Amino acid sequence: MSTNILVIGGTGKTGRRVVKQLQNQGIEPKIGSRNATPSFDWNQKDTWVAALHGIENIYITYYPDLAVPGAKEAIESLVYLAKELGVKKIVLLSGKGETEAEACEKIVMNSGVNYTIVRASWFNQNWSESFFLDAVLSGEVALPMSNIPIPFVDADDIAEVAATVLLDDSYNGKIIEVTGPELITFKEIISIIEKATHRTLHFHEITLQQYIDGMTQQQIPAEVVWLIEYLFSHVLTNPKNQQISHDIELILNRKAKTFAAYVKETAKTGVWDEITVSK
């Protein structure tokens, strides 16, 4: 079992949770981020060598997503360097039903290095730590494709699976698909959050183009707008992504966290409390 582990994206949604999982087992991994020492920056290849020095196992997350232009080339370069520097195992966080992400998976799978691919559905935490949070806080949630069922998965479950496969070589060469235990729509999600927070949330069905136009008007970075449009138009509508996997249960010997359980836990943190503006 290796303890020389690098967690790339170690301050992100899943990365920081993987770090915590490893620390709970007495392992202190190296954090791969721009603010770490030594730093790791996807856009600065000269930082990669120091970050990979002495590392045996790597957990890789690519920000903002493996689907974005340039991700494939970055993964190709990193995996080549990792192999040259003696890395023994790579665990890659990928996305279910993303053609571009699957191209990145193949780079890892064909590298000659031991690997495990963790393919994840949409994260529960998108509602509390990411792009859906502001809409919930405003009380006005406008989204397209509100009736498409999605097996939202919890980032804590993803991290526990990732930490497990990092340390357990019996999962080498496997693709693990992680989803929540049920299919749930955006409309149902808003209803669940509304009840848990005792707030009134108004849901508005809009077209994808209206959603994209709204993000552009809010001056959201172009690469983020591109990614969200891609996720809605290609990933959300992919029938593969509307299938529930039981890999979490098989690996962790417990059921995946339900969305309702995530909401109950998250509501207690106050992150969804209505913002009051002082006059």
Render pLDDT for 70-86 as a digit per residue (tens, 0 to 9).
999 999 999 999 999 99
* CA distance readout (Å), 189 to 122, 220, 248: 13, 24, 22
Q: What is the pLDDT of residue 211?
A: 95
Q: What is the pLDDT of residue 241?
A: 85
The CA distance from 272 to 254, in Å, is 28
**Cβ neighbours of 106 (radius 10 Å):** 13
Q: Is the pTM of this model over 0.75?
A: yes
| 220, part of any domain | no
> What is the pLDDT averaged over residues 183-193?
97
pLDDT tops 90 at residue 13:
yes
pLDDT tops 90 at residue 274:
no
| 232, part of any domain | no
> What is the pLDDT averaged over residues 138-148?
95
When pLDDT is cut at 50, 70 and 90, the band that residue 99 belongs to is confident
Average pLDDT, the chain: 94
> What is the pLDDT averaged over residues 142-159?
96
| 107, part of any domain | yes
pLDDT tops 70 at residue 278:
no
Q: For 234, which DSSP code?
A: I
Q: What is the pLDDT of residue 52?
A: 97
pLDDT tops 70 at residue 2:
no
pLDDT tops 80 at residue 201:
yes
Q: For 141, which DSSP code?
A: E
Distance of CA 70 to the CA centre of its chain: 18
* Element at 22 (helix H, strand E): helix 15-24
Domain limits for position 44: 5-121+153-179+241-256
| 33, part of any domain | yes
pLDDT tops 60 at residue 214:
yes
pLDDT tops 50 at residue 220:
yes
The CA distance from 44 to 98, in Å, is 26
Q: Where are the alpha helices (DSSP H) in the chain?
A: 15-24, 48-52, 71-84, 99-109, 133-138, 155-167, 186-197, 208-217, 222-230, 247-252, 259-267
Q: What is the pLDDT of residue 277?
A: 44
Tell me how many domains the chain contains: 1
Residue whose token pair is 């195992």? 89
pLDDT tops 60 at residue 276:
no
Q: What is the pLDDT of residue 224?
A: 86
| 166, part of any domain | yes
pLDDT tops 90 at residue 240:
no
| 164, part of any domain | yes
Q: What is the pLDDT of residue 268?
A: 97
pLDDT tops 60 at residue 246:
yes
Report the percentage of the chain scoring pLDDT > 90.
86
Q: What is the pLDDT of residue 232?
A: 92
pLDDT tops 80 at residue 51:
yes
| 277, part of any domain | no
Contact 151, 243 (CB under 8 A): yes
Question: Domain holding 113: CATH number?
Answer: 3.40.50.720
| 211, part of any domain | no
